[in-house]
């Protein structure tokens, strides 16, 4: 049910029980679940159906610390949210990701994997993934794990019709939420939305903020600033414990098995190396998924030959290549996306500068620590040892790992995965939301999305975002039906 | 602002799509190429009783 304006919505008589701010995978999944539970809801989207550079500009911000992507490129401000440029990687968090780990400060969720498992099938359907196979063991330290792939599902395209035709889901486009407005009794009373030159309030019963892994913190921080801390009364952790999945090339490799470890080419799934639970615990490292790639997969056979030569006879090959004025690297490489330990100093703050709507822009403090270096170094060594033990190939660690020099600037930096900032916890001292994604100290304010992740594991967030959103939908469905 | 070279979000979309692993079209060719080169370079590929690291190379003691 699309409303062309806030006025049209106000005149319609439609009275949603839940206002959902944001229409990415979290917001739309939540709305569809609430529809199943017969709870009317209103989706409020800042952007339109189509991409707009003007809309994206609101996402510009400053990054302090390690090299990182431009913030206005790392997500999409339009209907369907960042699923509009999602790559489709689907993987559940590991069971061990939810548990406290003695070697990882601030680890542990107030829920366990069993709390999300009941939502896996529904998440599969929403994300249009079908296959599944259990992980396999390679050695005590290294597993083969499966990543499945969504087509990928563009929520803005796939679910547009379902939202427009729904009688219990309302939709407002081009309606940026400027701030949450608290009333009395620890409740949000309304949301203030931009109407071009002016602003207006929309009264709400319950609110769920689903604006993404950066914007959730920004909106709550800004609302808290505007209303004397009455939106997030316990704000010690607000904006903090922000995480990414660093992505780096770890080693060069020569192997007799080819470089793409992909054993089931007929299905939309791929296999990756990963440190086992045993290895993570024994060596105090985070999770990861690791893959082999040829340096260039579309090159000529002659170039491939030289890449191989560089692996097994580097001195001779270097001499010959120099005579020809060429430069090649060893045949393949090992790349990984790995877990970042949660730390309060990695955080989102409000900048002095404001966007076109007058809202403070984002300032992101983000840096990797020695814990991530340890994870990268040890898992590389474990994989190298596994290749030797299985006689699959040989690896040479990149110099920055062998000699402890700076992280290379030429790598991808991160997986475009924004996690933390409104993390889930048992305590408001270390978190913003409780196990039901409700903001501590507030009765009707919830958060959806990867900003509630307490730890990030190595799994791409989207699948877990959807499972959490479905679970939140059930929680709200039960709460509001009873009320 | 971050130091990453500016680009339009549509380009970021393309980069992200590129990031998805591709099919192993020439894995067999590479495998065939690798084996004779190993022989040429006289690198023994035998089952490892132990592992050593030399200049970053993670090798079998027998290598």
Please write the tens of the pLDDT for every residue from A383-397.
999 988 888 888 899
Chain B CB contacts of A251 under 8 Å are 56, 58
- How high is the pLDDT of residue A276? 95
Residue A162 pLDDT: 98
pLDDT at residue number B26: 40
Q: What is the mean pLDDT of chain B?
A: 48
Among chain A residues, the shortest Cα distance to B11 is held by: A73
Radius of gyration of chain A (CA): 24
Mean pLDDT of A296-317: 70
> Does pLDDT of B31 surpass 60?
no
pLDDT, position B35 = 38
Query: Which pLDDT score is estimated for B50?
Result: 82
Whether complex ipTM tops 0.95: no
* Alpha-carbon span A95 to A75, nearest angstrom: 28
The pLDDT value given to residue A29: 98
| A vs B: CB pairs below 8 A | 162
Residue with more model confidence, B15 or A377: A377
Dihedral in degrees, nearest 10, Cα atoms A141, A142, A143, A147? 140
The mean pLDDT value for A397-425 works out to 92
Contact criterion met (CB < 8 Å) for B34 and A381: no
Contacts of B37 in chain A (CB under 8 A): 254, 305, 308-309, 311-313
Predicted confidence at residue A270, as pLDDT, reads 77
Coil, strand, or helix at residue A474?
Answer: helix
Q: Which residues of A154-170 are buried (b: 16+ CB within 10 A; e: fewer)?
A: bbbebbbeebeebebbb
Of A68, A309, A416, Cβ closest to residue B37:
A309
Q: For the segment A257-277, what is each residue's pLDDT rounded down to a tens digit?
A: 655 554 444 456 677 899 999
Listed by number, the residues of chain A in 398-457 with a beta carbon closer than 8 Å to a beta carbon of chain B are 398-399, 401-402, 412-413, 416
Sort out which chain A residues have CB atoms less than 8 A from B55's CB and list them. Answer: 396, 402
The pLDDT mean for chain A works out to 91
Q: Residue B59 above 60 pLDDT?
A: yes
| DSSP 3-state percent helix, strand, coil across chain A (nearest 5) | 30, 25, 45
User: Can you read off the two tokens belonging to residue A197?
Assistant: 């030159």
| Min distance A438 CA to chain B CA atoms (Å) | 32
Q: What percent of chain A has pLDDT over 90?
A: 77
Question: With pLDDT > 70 as the criterion, what percentage of chain A qualifies?
Answer: 93
Residues in chain A within 8 Å Cβ distance of B58: 251, 381, 384-385, 387-388, 394-397
Does the pLDDT value for residue A80 go beyond 70?
Answer: yes
Q: How confident is the model at residue A399 (pLDDT cuts 50, 70, 90)?
A: very high
A105-143 pLDDT, tens digit per residue, is 999 999 999 999 999 999 999 999 987 766 777 788 999
Residues 375-404 of A with CB under 8 A from B: 381, 384-385, 387-389, 391, 394-399, 401-402
Between A146 and A153, the more confident residue is A153
Q: Which residues of B34-58 are buried (b: 16+ CB within 10 A; e: fewer)?
A: beebbeebebebeebeebeeeebbb
Most confident of the ranges A53-67, A72-86, A308-322, A440-454:
A440-454
The CB density around residue B1, as the number of other CB atoms within 10 Å, is 11
Q: Greater confidence, A404 or A135?
A: A404
What is the pLDDT at residue A328? Answer: 67
- Tell which residue, A440, A443, A376, has the closest CA to residue A411: A376
- Contact residues, chain A, for B9 at CB < 8 Å: 51, 53, 56, 72-73, 76, 85
Q: Is B49 at the interface with chain A, CB within 8 A?
A: no
Burial pattern A28-65, b for ≥16 Cβ within 10 A else e, equals bbbbbbbbebebbbbbbbbbebebeeebbebbbbbbee
Whole-number pLDDT of residue A409: 86
């Amino acid at each position: 049910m699309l409303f062309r304006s806030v006025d049209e919505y106000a005149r319609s008589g439609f009275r949603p029980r839940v206002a959902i701010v944001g229409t990415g995978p979290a917001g739309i999944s939540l709305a569809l679940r609430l529809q199943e539970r017969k709870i009317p809801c209103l989706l409020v989207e800042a952007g339109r159906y189509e991409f707009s550079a003007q809309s994206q500009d609101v996402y510009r911000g400053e990054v302090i610390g390690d090299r990182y992507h431009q913030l206005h490129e790392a997500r999409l401000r339009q209907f369907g949210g960042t699923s509009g440029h999602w790559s489709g990687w689907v993987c559940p968090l590991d069971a061990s990701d939810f548990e406290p780990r003695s070697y990882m400060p601030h680890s542990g969720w107030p829920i366990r994997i069993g709390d999300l498992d009941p939502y896996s099938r529904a998440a599969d359907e929403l994300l249009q993934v079908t296959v599944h196979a259990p992980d396999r063991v390679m050695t005590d330290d290294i597993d083969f794990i499966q990543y499945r792939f969504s087509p990928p599902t563009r929520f803005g395209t796939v679910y547009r019709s379902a939202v427009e035709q729904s009688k219990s889901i309302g939709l407002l486009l081009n309606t940026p939420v400027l701030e949450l407005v608290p009333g009395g009794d620890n409740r949000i009373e309304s949301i203030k939305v931009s109407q071009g030159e002016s602003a207006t309030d929309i009264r709400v019963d319950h609110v769920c903020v689903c604006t993404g892994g950066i914007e959730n913190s920004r909106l709550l921080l800004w609302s808290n600033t505007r209303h004397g801390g009455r939106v997030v009364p316990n704000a010690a952790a607000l904006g903090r414990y922000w995480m990414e999945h660093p992505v780096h090339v770890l080693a060069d490799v020569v192997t007799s098995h080819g470089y793409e470890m992909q054993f089931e080419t007929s299905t939309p799934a791929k296999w990756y190396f990963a440190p086992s639970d045993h290895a993570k615990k024994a060596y105090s490292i985070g999770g990861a998924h690791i893959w082999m790639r040829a340096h260039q997969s579309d090159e000529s056979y002659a170039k491939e030959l030289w890449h191989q030569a560089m692996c097994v006879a580097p001195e001779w090959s270097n001499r010959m290549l120099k005579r020809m004025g060429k430069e090649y690297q060893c045949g393949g490489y090992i790349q990984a996306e790995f877990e970042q330990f949660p730390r309060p100093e990695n955080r989102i703050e409000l900048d002095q500068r404001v966007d076109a709507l007058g809202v403070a822009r984002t300032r992101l403090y983000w840096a990797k620590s020695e814990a991530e270096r340890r994870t990268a170094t040890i898992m590389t060594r474990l994989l190298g040892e596994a290749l030797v033990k299985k006689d699959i190939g040989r690896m040479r660690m990149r110099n920055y790992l062998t000699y402890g020099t700076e992280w290379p600037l030429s790598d991808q930096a991160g997986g475009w995965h924004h996690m933390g900032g409104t993390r889930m916890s048992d305590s408001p001292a270390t978190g913003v939301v409780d196990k039901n994604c409700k903001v501590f100290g507030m009765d009707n304010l919830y958060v959806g999305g990867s900003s509630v992740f307490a730890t990030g594991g190595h799994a791409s967030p989207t699948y877990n975002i959807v499972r959490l959103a479905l679970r939140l939908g059930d929680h709200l469905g039960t709460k509001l039906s009873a009320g | 602002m971050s130091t990453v070279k500016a680009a339009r979000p549509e380009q970021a979309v393309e980069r992200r799509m590129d990031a998805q692993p591709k099919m192993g079209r020439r894995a067999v060719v590479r495998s065939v190429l690798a084996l004779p080169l190993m022989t040429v370079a006289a690198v023994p590929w035998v089952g490892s009783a132990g592992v050593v690291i030399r200049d970053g190379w993670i090798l079998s003691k027998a290598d």
